[in-house]
Structure 1
Amino acid sequence: MRKTPKSPVDKVVFWGAVVISASLVAGGALWPKALSTAAQALLDKIIDWFGWSFVLSTAFFLGFALFLAFSRFGRIRLGKDDEQPEFSTSSWIAMMFSVGMGIGLMFWGVAEPITHFSTIPPELAPAHSREAAKIAMGYAYFHWAFHPWAIYAIVGLVIAYFSFRKGLPNLISSAFTPLIGEAGVRGPLGKSIDILAVLATLFGTATSLGLGAQQINSGLNYLWNTGESNNIALAIIVVMTVFFILSAISGVGKGVQFLSNLNMVVAVVLLLFLAAVGPSVFIVNTLVASIGEYLQELVPMSFRTAAFSDGKWLAGWTIFYWAWWISWAPFVGTFIARISRGRTIREFVIGVIVIPSGVTMVWFAIMGGSALYSELAGAGGIATAVKDQGPAVALFMLLAQYPAAALTSFAAILLVGVFFISGADAGSIVMGMLCAHGNLKPPSWLVALWGVLTSAAASVLLVMGGLNALQTAAIIFAAPFLLVMVGLCVSLCKALMNDQPIGVAHNSLAALRNPVRAAAD
């Protein structure tokens, strides 16, 4: 029987995460070049030696999640057999999409297809060609659709299952109970898993704040010629930090849910506007053709390694992305688990993988498709701007080519800002939960503290020119978490073999009499 903790805070996890994160941030502030060089060298070794493991395991996670959804285990509910979902389906989808990929899609929705279009490996297609545009969209889907959401789904599903169905704390370490027992979960191994999850969440969220601040800075410069500098980016981080801490301490049901719903409304309006005033026919054709390209090449892309491909390009994009999504998995997975109580495994997997992936495809078709049309048959100039000024400016260069550019650019800045707040909001709550024995409503001061620490990490490394080092550090923490994810799958399998919801046991008896009909059911 698990004992009720005396303190609301797990001191081992809290202080372990604080000391390690503070040491890394201080090292980045004092010796930015040395830390960046060392981290990059370690990252290069991880990708060179273990890049294949990211490719293979990510493909496995997708297959494993789909197997669970469409097997007999899909009927099992994440909670009691008669429990209903805590949030409506629309709010549920809005929250996980906003937290999972909000800022990333705003940042890369135009920039990634344009970058692939310009720098695609020669063996795939000539750069700046229509074939390059098609492959660019296929790879954008590949990097942002099924595979990353499957990574989130695995972590979220395992945590939700053990937390809501088995009554264990809402911690990643709790999911290892079938493998290492309660004593192991409470011991050094379990604490280490939770500390690793906090660190991955901290650095993943901090990097997201840096990207968001850079894009807001680019938008403000486009609208009002404010210039682009670290001081402006720092001011943006400070203002946004105040808002997301206020949102975080209000709780998931108020802050995150309201901001996520607002996000979806603004995003839909912006996308519909671009689809209406932009190359509508080309966008629809791009969506259809890109889905076909993606599905046709899904298996080859899923198992492509440096053996017969451009290793540098593959490492810089696909393997980098897989490691990046894994570094976000503790954060996003824990949050998705938090909002998914009462849903079946089948409903969870379909909702987490298929629906957000569909939204992502439409997003890239409108944003990326419009930019590619501009390069192929329109004003162009976006690819050059991305090459010269960086990806943060790509979205605003596209909006500048359509009516009401000032209004749509302001809406884009608002959208990035709200994604910024909701993502950091959720990250602070998750880190609070991990440091509070899995309490679904961690103390407000703890949530606020992690919000401040996250912003401090982003600010210090941004000023010192170490944002890339911070991003690299997040991926380095993802490498050991890949092993944790494999362990989560094994632990879940072991637990599911002994779990049947009401109705399944009855159907099992019927299967003895009529196995053909039972299989159809």
Structure 2
Amino acid sequence: MVFCYFMAMMTTVGIGTPVMGELASSLLGIENSFALKIGIIIIFCLFFTLSTSKTIAKGMGRISDFNVWLAIAFFIFVLIVGDTSFILNNIVMAIGTNIREFVRMSFNSDAIAQTGFVQNWTIFYWAWYVALTFMCGLWIARTSYGRTFREITVANCIWAVLACWVTFGILGNYGMGQELFHGQNFSGVISEVGNNGVTLLVLQTMPLPKLCIFVFMILIFFNLATSATANGTALSMYTSKGLKADEEPDSWYKTFWCVLFMIIPVGILLLEHSVEGLNVLSTIQSLITISSLPVLVALVVLFWSFGKVLRKDISDGTIRQYVDKSKENKWGND
């Protein structure tokens, strides 16, 4: 399970680093070279190492809050400068289409058309999500002391989903609007410049392009940095022997996992640099798809065990006792 989760987190870093390299190359006016990408990974590594200390770790919450507000401001800016009516209309239509077609799309294996999109992206995203489930649950449980189940559910099942919708809806539809109404040809050049290059081209169509590129790069960096730091801590807790519920894993252990997150992306970049024509994104997608299979089996067993325990707690009245006790405590506080 640890290996599977490690591969999922490595995927996050492996996908984000080339985007950062493309943006930094444009912003600094230098070549998007192998050395630049390695430099970005080293900066990530230094940030992770510093964040394991108690002094720096106290500021991680503030960094996360700043990143959220910066993202909201950026999305509002893109919504205003883009084709606002089209963006909002297409978001609404896309949500409706997703609800209507969810079951069909979930079982679509692209057997007839064989475009490769389903295998490369739909299955990849499902596998990525599956590989992250265990550690996400552990991290959420660890950081949820003092919160109610309602607060945890709303934060993870509503706000997190809404954030994904807003991100894909505004940024994706901005680029689509530029292609439909303003003569851009992102879909035509993606085979030449790649996904990272198209991301840069979309940002360059915005007012104050340099500022937009810089802000987007900051958003990616701190999103990856806080995510990797949190997940490195979760892995440290999961693999620490004899760790109690109220104890934190050793800083050196968290540093070990944070540094390890960097090793495989560096290895993939070395392969890209050495092997001409190697598709790094395709390599990463294949790794995460394979690593998610054991987790899927474990999840089936986990759900079966959960159902068994839940039926037992219902039959012997354990759940009813906790509910009544919770009501008594609430009324007592009132």
* TM range, smaller chain: 0.7 to 0.9
| 1:420 aligned residue (219, 224, 246) | 224
Partner of 1:257: 61
Q: Distance in 1 between matches of 2:135 and 2:34?
A: 27
Partner of 1:483: 297
Closer/same/farther in 2, CA of residues 371 and 306 from structure 1, 3 Å limit: closer
5+ residue gaps, structure 2:
273-277, 327-334
Partner of 1:473: 287
Q: Distance in 1 between matches of 2:290 and 2:267?
A: 19
Q: Distance in 2 between matches of 1:274 and 1:298?
A: 28
5+ residue gaps, structure 1:
1-195, 508-521
How far apart are residue 368 of structure 1 and its match? 0.7
Conservation of the 8 A alpha-carbon contact between 1:340 and 1:348: yes
Give deviations 1:283-338, integer Å, cap 9, x for gaps: 11112111121222223223334456647332222222211221222333322222
Q: Distance in 1 between matches of 2:28 and 2:188?
A: 22
How far apart are residue 385 of structure 1 and its match? 3.5
| 1:443 aligned residue (237, 250, 255) | 250
| 2:203 aligned residue (382, 399, 412) | 399
Residue 276 (1) aligns with residue 80 (2): yes
Partner of 1:389: 193
Conservation of the 8 A alpha-carbon contact between 2:82 and 2:177: no
Conservation of the 8 A alpha-carbon contact between 1:217 and 1:228: yes
Output aligned runs, 1:169-248, within 5 Å.
196=1, 198-248=2-52
Residue 339 (1) aligns with residue 143 (2): yes
Give deviations 1:170-205, integer Å, cap 9, x for gaps: xxxxxxxxxxxxxxxxxxxxxxxxxx2x21232222
How far apart are residue 471 of structure 1 and its match? 4.5
Q: Secondary structure at the match of 1:398?
A: helix
Residue 315 (1) aligns with residue 119 (2): yes
Residue 452 (1) aligns with residue 259 (2): yes
Output aligned runs, 1:24-423, within 5 Å.
196=1, 198-250=2-54, 254-306=58-110, 310=114, 312-423=116-227
Please report the TM-score for the alignment, with normalisation by the length of structure 2. Answer: 0.84
Q: Distance in 1 between matches of 2:142 and 2:107?
A: 32
Give deviations 1:249-305, integer Å, cap 9, x for gaps: 439972542232122011111111111111111111112111121222223223334
Q: Distance in 2 between matches of 1:259 and 1:207?
A: 22
Please report the TM-score for the alignment, with normalisation by the length of structure 1. Answer: 0.55
Conservation of the 8 A alpha-carbon contact between 1:247 and 1:425: yes
How far apart are residue 502 of structure 1 and its match? 4.6
Matched letter for residue 218 of structure 1 = E
Conservation of the 8 A alpha-carbon contact between 1:248 and 1:428: no
How far apart are residue 341 of structure 1 and its match? 3.2
Conservation of the 8 A alpha-carbon contact between 1:244 and 1:425: yes
Output aligned runs, 1:482-521, within 5 Å.
482-497=296-311, 498=313, 499-500=318-319, 502=321, 504=323
Matched letter for residue 407 of structure 1 = L
Partner of 1:16: none
Conservation of the 8 A alpha-carbon contact between 1:204 and 1:471: no
Conservation of the 8 A alpha-carbon contact between 1:248 and 1:426: no
Q: Distance in 1 between matches of 2:144 and 2:198?
A: 35
How far apart are residue 452 of structure 1 and its match? 1.4
Closer/same/farther in 2, CA of residues 462 and 502 from structure 1, 3 Å limit: same
Q: Secondary structure at the match of 2:228?
A: helix
Closer/same/farther in 2, CA of residues 215 and 398 from structure 1, 3 Å limit: same
| 2:269 aligned residue (456, 462, 465) | 462
Q: Distance in 1 between matches of 2:68 and 2:310?
A: 35
Identity of aligned residues (%): 26
Matched letter for residue 336 of structure 1 = I
How far apart are residue 377 of structure 1 and its match? 0.9
Matched letter for residue 276 of structure 1 = I
